């Protein structure tokens, strides 16, 4: 199931985010392959959050779950 695989990737990334005072929560996966996440804690106001989202979280998810087309923050 796609949701479980995405959650697994997020769980692998969570310690690094938490080390900087942030976290990430899976909100939704749309039928067309868009993963919606919520950046929390220090990540929600960080200037680097878009880079973390696209170059870190999105890249990792797409590598392990190729059905995912995009990861966005909501």
CB 10 within 8 A of CB 4: no
The reported pLDDT for the residue numbered 14 is 94
The reported pLDDT for the residue numbered 46 is 82
Give me the CATH number covering residue 47.
3.30.300.130
- DSSP 3-state assignment of 70? strand
Residue 66 has pLDDT above 90, yes or no: yes
Domain count, the chain: 1
Q: Please tell me the distance from the alpha carbon of residue 16 to that of residue 25, in angstroms, as a whole number.
A: 14
pTM across the whole model = 0.91
**CB-count burial class (<10 Å; 0-12, 13-18, 19+) for 19:** exposed
Q: Which domain holds residue 14?
A: 2-73
**pLDDT tens, position by position, 29-63:** 999 999 999 999 988 888 888 899 999 999 999 99
Radius of gyration of the chain (CA): 11
């Amino acid at each position: 199931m796609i949701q479980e695989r995405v959650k697994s990737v997020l769980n692998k990334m969570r310690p690094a985010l938490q080390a900087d005072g942030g976290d990430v929560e899976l909100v939704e996966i749309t039928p067309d392959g868009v993963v919606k996440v919520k950046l929390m804690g220090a990540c929600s106001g960080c200037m680097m959050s878009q880079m973390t989202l696209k170059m870190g979280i999105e890249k990792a998810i797409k590598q392990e779950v190729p059905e995912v087309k995009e990861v966005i923050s909501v």
